[in-house]
Amino acid sequence: MNYQGRIGGAASAPLYTLLFVCSGNTCRSPMAETLARAWLSKHAPEHAERLRVSSAGLAANPDSPASEGAVEAAARQGLTLDGHRARLLTPEMARGALVITMTRAQADYALRLASGARVTTLAAWAGLSGGGDVNDPFMGSDVEYHACCEQIKRLIDKGFRRMLSVT
């Protein structure tokens, strides 16, 4: 579970997929997906074309929109989740991707679903020893959604700085 993915080198390197995963793919993973894309655009545009960023859920109801709380939390960051539609994680999606889950339990489940997949938690990818879960804000207050979005944003920043060796 402690997969340490790093990329670098020539712009012609193969496409690398980051797949952010949570439970329903309506709160945490869509926020992570849009925050990751924004981070790449701002801090590492030279890597943006080689990195495919997407999201899915372990128990997603396909085609569900992002939750209202996630939409509002993303908007506070100047981002949009308007076009997001939930997807259910499949073994095919996990193959060839670095699957980044919000909790250790989700990482364990993803490994059972897609044996041999590269799976880690967002906290471990960010380099936090001992990991730590990103709690689900579903049905929570605006404050909980905002705090969750801020936590994901910090972890995305740390993770990309490690992965891309960006200072």
Residues labelled as active-site residues: 22, 28, 136
Q: What is the DSSP letter of 23?
A: S
8 Å CB contact between 33 and 20: yes
Q: What is the DSSP letter of 149?
A: H
From the CA atom positions of the chain, what is the Rg in Å? 15
The span from the CA of 15 to the CA of 104, in Å, is 26
Helix (H) or strand (E) holding 120: strand 118-121
